[in-house]
Amino acid sequence: MRITKNELEVLINKEVKKTLNEMSINESETLMTDDEINKFIDDLKRIGKKYFPKSFHDVRIYKGLGKSIAYDFSIEAKQDWENNIFQNSPVGFVKLIYSKKYNDDLTIPLEVEGGNIAMVLKPDNNYMVYSRKKIPFRKASGDTKKILKAFDKLFSKMKQMVKDNYDNFTEKDKAIIKKYI
């Protein structure tokens, strides 16, 4: 079957329109204003600092596959990172909060990826350097209140698990945790 140039253009235009329509905001989504985004960022920091007031909290707008909010957390302050490397922290995470559709705007409902966060502990076996204990975190989606509630639950659980596992941290990490909890 042969297709003419005009027929091909019509098909391409239909597909482009369909894709653009799928990417546009529908009735169930609410566009967040810059003021709402800034308030949400401030609320996220406030929740984190409620549980870990002296720790590193970096919450910012991130533009990767569209606008999102990145939350970087380390139990220790930046000046105490070993070799100035964020990932050397005994407890920390990076979470992205994003819209269901990748575009240049943040829309509600928002989503936060799930996945566990690991604490670095003394090894379970003598042939290992370290072991890890997971702090569970389920995927969350919804409005800003629901996302804030999920982060509140995460930080509460994290603080309790750090306290419960204090004796399992290395001596160096115990000093860090004692300083920041």
Encoded tokens for 137: 């975190």
| pLDDT tens-digit readout, 146-180 | 999 999 999 999 899 889 888 888 888 888 888 88
Residue 20: pLDDT band (50, 70, 90) is: very low
Greatest mean pLDDT range, 5-9, 33-37, 55-59: 55-59
Encoded tokens for 125: 């076996």
Contact by Cβ (8 Å): 66, 103: yes
DSSP state at residue 110: E
Encoded tokens for 113: 């990826």
Where along the chain do its domains lie?
28-180
- Count of other CB atoms within 10 angstroms of residue 5: 7
So what's the pLDDT on residue 97? 87
